[in-house]
């Protein structure tokens, strides 16, 4: 794996449909059915300690979460180590867990914040691991 990078993220306002016990395609399939795909920024947010996964989307200016049947939340900002993955979608999905594991071996993880999967495109993901300040 190439050397990871560190960045400071601002808080990210998101909408989500519901919580899941583990990551999976079902979460995004259900969310995309509500908001569509075009022009959207999707995030997978995983709180490992709570065993909670959310498929999230950044709201557009005129989105009404209530009328869409969505809840809102804010992904915590702060210091994150990150890796950018590129390739075919299915191969990238298979790399998510091992990439987070490798990042966790390099850095002191901040358990108060969730890990973040940013789906930049279907062939490019950015994985963010919260690290201690």
Q: How confident is the model at residue 11 (pLDDT cuts 50, 70, 90)?
A: very high
Looking at the predicted structure, is the pLDDT value of residue 1 above 80? no
Contact 63, 99 (CB under 8 A): no
The pTM for the full model equals: 0.91
- Give burial (CB, 10 Å; 0-12/13-18/19+) of 66: exposed
Distances (CA, A) of 69 to 44, 72, 76, 107: 19, 10, 23, 38
Closest C-alpha among 120, 125, 110, 118 to residue 80: 110
Report the pLDDT value the prediction gives residue 18, as an integer from 0 to 100: 85
Architecture of domain 5-130: Alpha-Beta Barrel (3.20)
pLDDT value, residue 3: 58
pLDDT digits (tens, 9 = 90+) for 42-91: 999 998 888 889 999 999 999 999 999 999 999 999 999 999 999 998 89
Gap between the Cα atoms of 57 and 17, Å rounded? 9
Q: Is 27 a residue whose pLDDT tops 70?
A: yes
Q: How far apart are CA 84 and CA 116, in angstroms?
A: 12
End-to-end CA distance of the chain: 24
């Amino acid at each position: 794996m190439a050397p990871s990078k560190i960045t400071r993220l601002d808080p990210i306002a998101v909408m989500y449909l519901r919580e899941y016990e583990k990551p999976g395609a079902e979460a995004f399939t259900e969310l995309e059915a509500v908001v569509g795909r075009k022009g959207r920024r999707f995030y997978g947010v995983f709180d490992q300690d709570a065993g909670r996964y959310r498929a999230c989307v950044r709201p557009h200016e005129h989105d009404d979460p209530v009328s869409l049947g969505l809840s809102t939340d804010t992904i915590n900002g702060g210091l994150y180590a990150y890796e950018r993955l590129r390739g075919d979608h299915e191969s990238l999905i298979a790399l998510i867990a091992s990439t987070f594991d490798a990042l966790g071996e390099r850095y002191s993880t901040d358990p108060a914040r969730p890990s973040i999967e940013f789906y930049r495109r279907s062939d490019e993901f950015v994985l963010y691991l919260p690290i201690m300040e």
